[in-house]
Amino acid sequence: MENNKTDNSNNDPRENKKIGRRELIKALATVPVIGAFIYGWYRKQKFDWFLKQSIREEIRLDAVNPVIKRDVSRERQIRLGIIGCGMRGRDLLKAAGFVHPKTIDEWKEEALINRIDKRYHDYLEQDDLNVVVNGVCDIFDINAEKGLEAAANINRESSGGKMDPKPKRYRTYKELLAAGDIDAVIIATPDHWHAPMTMVAAREGKHVYCEKPMTWTVPETYEVVKTIKESNIVFQLGHQNRQNESYFKAREAIEKNVLGSINLIEVTTNRNHPMGAWVYPIHPEACPDNIDWDQFIGPAPYHEFNLERFFRWRCWWDYSTGLSGDLFTHEFDAMNQIFVLGIPYSAVSSGGIYYYKDGRTVPDVLQSVFEYPDRNLSLVYSASLASNRKRGRVIMGHDASMEIGRDLNIYVDRDSTKYKKKLEEGIIDPSLPLYSFTPGAKQVDAITSPTEQYFAGRGLLYTYRGGKRVDTSHLHIREWLDSIRNGTQPSCNVDRGFEEAMTAHMGTIAYRENRKVFLDADKQEIM
C-alpha cells in the first residue's frame, strides 16, 4: 500500500508542475537561440550576484535606506511666531503646516495639468506638528497679510474653505518677541538681522529657528553663541540638508573608510538665471507707504529708499553675506555633517562681478580654498551665477571618490591601494559606480523653476522617508520642535552654526581684503 501511495504521488500532475530552477534552465538550454540566451542571462545574473556580494563584503555598505530615529512627541502644542514672510518665510510656514489658500489653488490646478506635480499631495501628507501661529511680523504690509492668511489656514484648505481667525500682526520684531503667548520663533529675514533678532529672542526665552547664515559679522557670531548658551533655549539653524538620507549614507561610507585617505573636497554652485542670481521680482504695489524702510535698514549703513535693495538685498554687502554666506554655507554644512570638519585653519578667495553689472557689490563668481592641515585635506568652493554647467559635490580619496547630492555614487580610483586586487581580478570596474544610493528611486519628481532645480539636485528641497517624498524643511522644523519638547539638541544647533558662520566669514574676508586669512580663536578675530 505504501508503494502504491508513493507511485500515485509521483504521478500527481500537480507535483509534475514543480520544476526546479536548475531543471528549467537545463530544459530551456535545449531550445536553439532562445535557450542559449536565457541560459547566458541566468549565468550573468549569478555572476553579477557574486560580484556584488564580493563588493558588499569589501565596503560593508548596502543600498537600503538608513535607519533614522523619529521622535513623534506631540503632547504639548507649541505657539509660534514668524518674523519675515517673504519667499523663504512662507516656505517655512508651509514646512510647519500653513499655506496660503491661493497657493493651494495653484497646486491643485497644476496637478490637473501635470500628473507628476505632487506638491499638493506631499503637503497633505505632511505630519501635523501640533503648532499654532500666534504672531506674524513683516515690514512689508503685503507680505505680512499673506503670512496672516496662511497662518489662519489651519485646515489646509483652498480658497473658500474654512479658516481660523488670523493671528496678531506685530509691527516690530521686539513686540512679537515680548509676547507672552509665543513660545518659539522662526526668523526668515535678510542676513543683517539674523543675529540681533536671535539674541533678543533668546533673552526673551523664545526658542529660535533661524535661516542661514547664522550671522552677518564676526563679533556678533561670538555674541550669539554666548547669548544662546546663557539662555538655555533650543536653537536650530536652517540647514535643512541635515535631513537628507544620502548624507547619512555618505557619513556611513566615511566612517567605514570606503574612500581611503581623503585629500580634496570640491563643492560648487552653478546657476544661470536671474532668480538664481538674486534678481527677484519687485512687487508692483510696493512703495514707501507699505514698507517700513527704517526697520529694514536697522544695523546696516543708511541708504535712501530703494525697491531694488529691498527685494534684492542679497546683492549688496550692506545686508548680505554674498555667495559665501548664502550658498557656500549649504555646501559647507553638508560636508561638516559628513566629515565633522569644523573651522578651517586658513582661507583664500578670489572672484568678481563678471556678469551681473547691475550695481551689486557682492560677486557673481567666487572661488575659495579652505585648508585643514590637521586633516590633510583642502575644501574648495567654486561658484558661478552665469553658467548652468553641472559640477556638483565630489569627495576625493586615495581609494575612491564620492559624488553626492540628492543621490550618492562612489567610484573606485584605478590606482587604489585598497581595491587593487579586485581591480586586477576585474571584480571592480572603475568606470562604473562601486556603490549607488538613491532615496525614493521609484518616484518621479516635478521641478518647476531653475532655482528649484538647483536646490532639488542638492537634496535641499526634499528627501524620502519610507519611500515617501518629504520636504526637508518640514523635517528640519519637526526636529527643532521635538527638541523643544524633549529638551534635547537638534542637528544644526548653535555650535554647528558657529562653525558655519566663522568658515563663511573667513571666505568673505579673504575675498574682500584679497589676502589669506586665519582664525585667532583666543582673540576671537579673523587675522
At 169 the three-state DSSP class reads strand
Mean pLDDT of 296-322: 98
Residue 198 to residue 254: CA distance in whole angstroms = 34
**Pairwise pLDDT comparison (30 vs 21), residue with the higher score:** 30
- Identify the pLDDT of residue 200: 98
Residue 197 has pLDDT above 50, yes or no: yes
User: Under a CB-based contact definition with an 8 Å cutoff, are residues 148 and 167 in contact?
Assistant: yes
**Pairwise pLDDT comparison (97 vs 9), residue with the higher score:** 97
Residue 384 has pLDDT above 70, yes or no: yes
Mean pLDDT of 179-188: 98
When pLDDT is cut at 50, 70 and 90, the band that residue 369 belongs to is very high
- Identify the pLDDT of residue 66: 62
Residue 458 to residue 202: CA distance in whole angstroms = 31
| Structure confidence by residue, pLDDT tens digits, 87-121 | 999 999 999 999 999 999 999 999 999 888 888 98
For the entire predicted model, the pTM comes to 0.86
For residue 288, is the peptide bond before it cis, meaning its omega torsion is within 30 degrees of 0? Answer: no
What is the residue-averaged pLDDT of the chain? 87
- Identify the pLDDT of residue 517: 98
Residue 468 has pLDDT above 50, yes or no: yes
Domains and CATH numbers, the chain: 78-240 (3.40.50.720), 242-468+494-519 (3.30.360.10)
Using alpha carbons only, give the angle 119, 125, 131 rounded to the nearest 5 degrees. 105
- Identify the pLDDT of residue 38: 55
Q: Which helix (H) or strand (E) holds 80?
A: strand 78-83
When pLDDT is cut at 50, 70 and 90, the band that residue 405 belongs to is confident
Residue 150 to residue 75: CA distance in whole angstroms = 24
Residue 168 to residue 153: CA distance in whole angstroms = 14
- Parallel, antiparallel, or unpaired: how do β-strands 262-270 and 207-210 relate? unpaired
